[in-house]
Amino acid sequence: MKKKLWLSLIMMFVLSLFLVACGGGDNEDAQGDAGDDAESTDEGTDASDGDAPDFISFLTGGTSGTYYPLGGAIAKIISDETGIQTDALSSNASADNIIALQDGEAELAFSQTDVAAYAVEGINAFDAPVENVLALGSLYPETIQIVTTEKSGIKSVEDLKGKKVSVGAPGSGTYINAEQILEVHGMTMDDIDAQNLDFGESAGGIKDGNIDAAFITAGTPTGAVEELQATADVYVLPIEQDKADELIEKYPYYAADTIAEGTYGLEEDINTVAVLAMIVVTDELSEDVVYDITKAIYENSGDIAHDKGQYVTLESALEGIGFDLHPGAKKYFEEAGLDVQ
């Protein structure tokens, strides 16, 4: 009896060992599978966390200016050439665009070269240097247009004294342009009744008689001014040569410019000044992504479905840029043979 009991105990012990061994083997297999899955997941994450995002936002400007339609055309090229869905969004333009990039609200943006330089230095509209925004490249001249009508009787910058004048949307580079141009003419914002309107509002205000003139910094012809021309005889104030020279000497990012006869129905060329439009980019985008975006823009500029596309050239891509290029843009321009400082 005792012998049978002993044998039963031994058999139960052996059976338990067998079950533990089988369970242990299953557990090891499960752990092995989990380990393989974890390894696969890590590898998948590495692949999905590659440099290229699925979507990027491109901040432009007001819908009545040049930035918005041009931005849409450039966004399409970026999307087509890189596979990254790029959405062009309307905005208050230069200064606000850079602040939005600083705050991580977008990846690409238009800016005037002068405003971007202010951002990096932390002056004018910027309380402190913006450290996460870099240059991608310059695009085309942005002409300073001081727009009024023939019937206003305003023929010079000095005639703006005491008038209701739009100086651009809050946060825009146009405001700073207006301030600096008034400065070289011995005036300040206190000498005018300054109105903070965007381009469309400015044109509408002139049309309705609510304002007398407007500073508009944009590529010519500008849509808002063309709309005004449909209902009024447009006149653009000239900036005389000595004042232009003084402005350029003090603020070197300006250049002399001319609005050609016939633009907006003008009967003669109008001498003025310009800054440059450029694209700025957050440093969060990788070198490879910005390289691809830069290449897409400058190698397909002939396909930009906007009149300003003709000015987007590799030869002028570095003009007016006074701060650091993104490493991806720098790499592309160096490979293209440009002298990148």
What CATH number should be reported for the domain holding residue 326?
3.40.190.10
| 39 inside domain | no
C-beta separation of 290 from 326 below 8 A = yes
Share the mean pLDDT of the chain: 86
User: Are residues 65 and 102 part of one domain?
Assistant: yes
| In the predicted structure, residue 86 carries a pLDDT above the cut 70 | yes
| 42 inside domain | no
| 40 inside domain | no
| 50 inside domain | no
User: Are residues 270 and 146 part of one domain?
Assistant: yes
User: Are residues 309 and 263 part of one domain?
Assistant: no
| In the predicted structure, residue 162 carries a pLDDT above the cut 80 | yes
Query: What is the pLDDT averaged over residues 125-137?
Result: 95
User: Are residues 127 and 162 part of one domain?
Assistant: no
pLDDT value at residue 24: 44
User: Are residues 162 and 219 part of one domain?
Assistant: yes
Angle at 276 between CA 259 and CA 248, to 5 degrees: 75
Min mean pLDDT across 48-62, 162-176, 261-275, 324-338 is at 48-62
| 16 inside domain | yes
Query: What is the domain extent for residue 20?
Result: 1-33
| 46 inside domain | no
Helix (H) or strand (E) holding 201: helix 199-208
Min mean pLDDT across 19-33, 194-208, 230-244 is at 19-33
User: Are residues 136 and 146 part of one domain?
Assistant: no
pLDDT greater at residue 165 or residue 172: 165
- Per the structure, the count of domains in the chain is 3
User: Are residues 166 and 251 part of one domain?
Assistant: yes
**Per-residue pLDDT tens for 249-308?**
888 788 889 999 999 999 999 999 999 999 999 999 999 999 999 999 999 999 999 989
User: Are residues 236 and 260 part of one domain?
Assistant: yes
| 341 inside domain | no
Is the pTM above the cut of 0.75?
A: no
| 205 inside domain | yes
3-class DSSP string for 110-179: EEEHHHHHHHHHCCCCCCCCCCCEEEEEEEEEEEEEEEEEHHHCCCCHHHHCCCEEECCCCCCHHHHHHH
Min mean pLDDT across 19-28, 62-71, 115-124, 141-150 is at 19-28
